[in-house]
Structure 1
Amino acid sequence: MMDEAGAKAWLRDAFDVSRETLERLEAYVALLLAEAKSQNLIAHSTFDSVWSRHIVDSAQLLSFADTSDPSRRWLDIGTGPGLPGLVLAILGCQVTLVESRGRRVTFLYEAAETLDLQANIRIEGKRLETVETVRHDIVAARAFAPMAKTFELAARFLGKDGMWILPRGKSVEEELAAARDSWQGDFQTVQSVTNSEAFIVVARNVRRRK
């Protein structure tokens, strides 16, 4: 497991994170931990490892995307307190955050204002099924639904060249096998940098089987 000092060092090395960006990430962590005392945003057991368990765990998704075009738009479904969406926005991405739980939506708006991220994000405080179909380049979902259900609900937001970047747990192969019953595409499974039992599924050309 990566410790907190190692997590910050990884961020600096992987993305050449500036001092200003690191300070904004630190401000987000402070907001997250403060709000987590009054609502269940992250597991209490991860309070002392928030940088590795949540910040790096979110930021690593950027490693799989083409960063040469800053206009590429992410869709983060079931973002909760902004994981990974707010972290990606702090790192310079354009992100739409979808979250249906009212108190978490309020936190997202407050965090976006405090961190001055309004230009980078759009917040959809509603169920994904009711969000207007707008094309995005990348769909991320850290803790939303099984993979097959995620494809079913979110495929309409991606064009033919879009990609999926989906953090998963140790049962990733079983989940991927279940998804392949009704979906086909080009799937790559990569081990997370933060946990040997966590993985990221990177998928392209995903389409329903005929």
Structure 2
Amino acid sequence: MTEESARQWIIDRFGVSRETRLAQFADLLVQGSAQQNLISASTIPYVWERHLLDSAQLIPLAAEAGEGSWIDIGAGAGLPGMVIAILTDRPVVLVEPRIKRVEFLRETAAVLDLGQQVDVVQSRIESYKPPVAASVVSARAVAELSKLLLSTVHCTDLSTVWILPKGRNVQSEVDDARRKWQGVFHVERSLTADDSGIVVARGVRPR
């Protein structure tokens, strides 16, 4: 997929006004990457495909989730969490332990006028307890699936939808997780990488 087609995919589904704000975020992401390693320099020419569309494609997978918060774990550069906030009206909680990333996320939320929608929490997910269970949980390149579920299950209930982008080992991670966890797991194909998938899970609980 080209940068133009990635951008058009977002316009077609979310409209021009949200795409315009997403373009502002892309500029902030590139500028911030000059100060700290938010995204790899090699991916900057492909920021719409590799990062923005890669994040935006998660939103339709949450169509059946409740109206509560979307928690993004290890939020880093705001991928996918900040993209979710820009393209939807859902409250988003960005959980990130590293102070420089937290500062970037808070400054970005302020610049994009997302302060009422986005809550940036400096914490490891193991230490964070939301006031109510998350409706959606996402995590991009944080941990192996079983470990991720273990560290985060206290933030969820049986109605939570987990949406977890994974690499080429996605099916083996799901197979391993099923030995320790009950729930409905399936893998969606990624729009941005043929050898990657997105784990969508519901009803997750320990065996």
The 1-side partners of 2:193 and 2:147 are apart by: 25
Contact 2:65 2:136 in 1 (8 A): no
Contact 2:77 2:105 in 1 (8 A): yes
- Does 2:19 align with 1:22? yes
Aligned to 2:85: 89
- Does 2:76 align with 1:76? no
> Where does 1:78-157 land on structure 2 (aligned, <5 Å)?
78-92=74-88, 93-134=90-131, 135-157=133-155
- Does 2:10 align with 1:11? yes
Aligned to 1:162: 160
Amino acid aligned to 1:120: Q
The 1-side partners of 2:50 and 2:168 are apart by: 15
Report the alpha carbon displacement of residue 143 of structure 1 after superposing the two structures with TM.
1.6
Q: Per-residue CA shift, 1:87-113, capped at 9, x if unaligned?
A: 000012211000001100000000000
SS at match of 1:160: coil
Aligned to 2:56: 59
Percent identity, please: 40
The normalised TM-score by structure 1 is 0.93
The 2-side partners of 1:176 and 1:87 are apart by: 26
The 2-side partners of 1:133 and 1:90 are apart by: 21
The normalised TM-score by structure 2 is 0.95
Q: Which runs of 5+ in 1 are unaligned?
A: none
Aligned to 1:179: 177
> Where does 1:17-56 land on structure 2 (aligned, <5 Å)?
17-56=14-53
Aligned to 1:191: 189
SS at match of 2:11: helix
Report the alpha carbon displacement of residue 57 of structure 1 after superposing the two structures with TM.
0.5
Q: Which runs of 5+ in 2 are unaligned?
A: none
The 2-side partners of 1:78 and 1:137 are apart by: 17
Amino acid aligned to 1:202: V
